[in-house]
Amino acid sequence: MKKNFALALSLVFSLAVVVTANINVNNEPVAVGSTVADFKLPDVMGKEHSLASLKGSKGTVLIFVSTGCPVSNAYNERMEKLAQDFKARGIHVVGINSNVTESSDTIKAHAVENKLSFPILKDKGNKIADRLGAQRTPEVYFLDSANKLVYQGRIDNAQNAAMLQTSDLRNAIEEVLAGKPVSQTQAKAFGCTIKRAS
């Protein structure tokens, strides 16, 4: 009996070690398949939000955005449509602005001007960009309901919407909503460098 108890305890302990190791809490970029630890950032009004408070019941799309990057701006309408299309289906879109060159007031005015209704958080000191390993705008981190990273990279293949061929992010979201594994977990595109605090 004692032996069985010790074995069970040992198994539980081993499992806990494996789960903890898979949650990203240090500064290594988050790899697809690992879990993003909760974080807090202020919105453009200065109000703090946690990832837990903003996440969707089925998943969360974190998008690193910029007010001045022409590539990010080329996606304004597509990002807003994405947020609207999937909100009722349990997927929430959250913008993160890590550019040291763009103030909360600028981000607020830009969101109003471009009719962006999803929350945009200000990542002062690019702490979350560093934690996730984000390098450009726009860049997507799509988390499932358990905050596990299931897709990372571009929104789609074409900055110019007329050249659109592959809606990588939408495909990943549809697969998650259908309970399927994401077939394409990473895709790249050209974008602007995140302007980090020196």
Partner 1 sequence: MRRTITLTLVLSLSAHIATIAMAQWRASFTQARAAAVSGDSKTKLPTVREVDAAGVKKLLQRGEGTNARPLLLNVWATWCDPCREEFPDLVKIDEDYRARGLDFIALSVDDVAEINKGVPAFLQQMRAHMPAYLLNTPEPTVAINMVDPTWGGEVPATFLFDRTGKLAFKHTGRIKPDELRAAIDKVIDEK
Residues lying near partner 1 in the complex (CB under 8 A) are found at 68, 70-71, 135-136, 139, 153-154, 157-160, 163, 165-166, 187-195
Are the C-beta atoms of residues 97 and 66 closer than 8 Å to each other?
yes
Are the C-beta atoms of residues 91 and 173 closer than 8 Å to each other?
yes
Q: How far is the CB of 29 from partner 1 (least distance, A)?
A: 10
User: Whats the size of the chain, residue-wise?
Assistant: 198
For partner 1, the closer CB: 24 or 72 = 72
For partner 1, the closer CB: 131 or 154 = 154
Buried b / exposed e over 165-194, threshold 16 CB at 10 Å, is eebbbbbbbebbeeeeebeebebebebbeb
Q: How far is the CB of 105 from partner 1 (least distance, A)?
A: 20
Are the C-beta atoms of residues 109 and 68 closer than 8 Å to each other?
no
For partner 1, the closer CB: 158 or 177 = 158
For partner 1, the closer CB: 97 or 159 = 159
Scanning the structure block, which residue is given the tokens 């993160």? Answer: 96
Q: How far is the CB of 20 from partner 1 (least distance, A)?
A: 27
Q: How far is the CB of 134 from partner 1 (least distance, A)?
A: 8
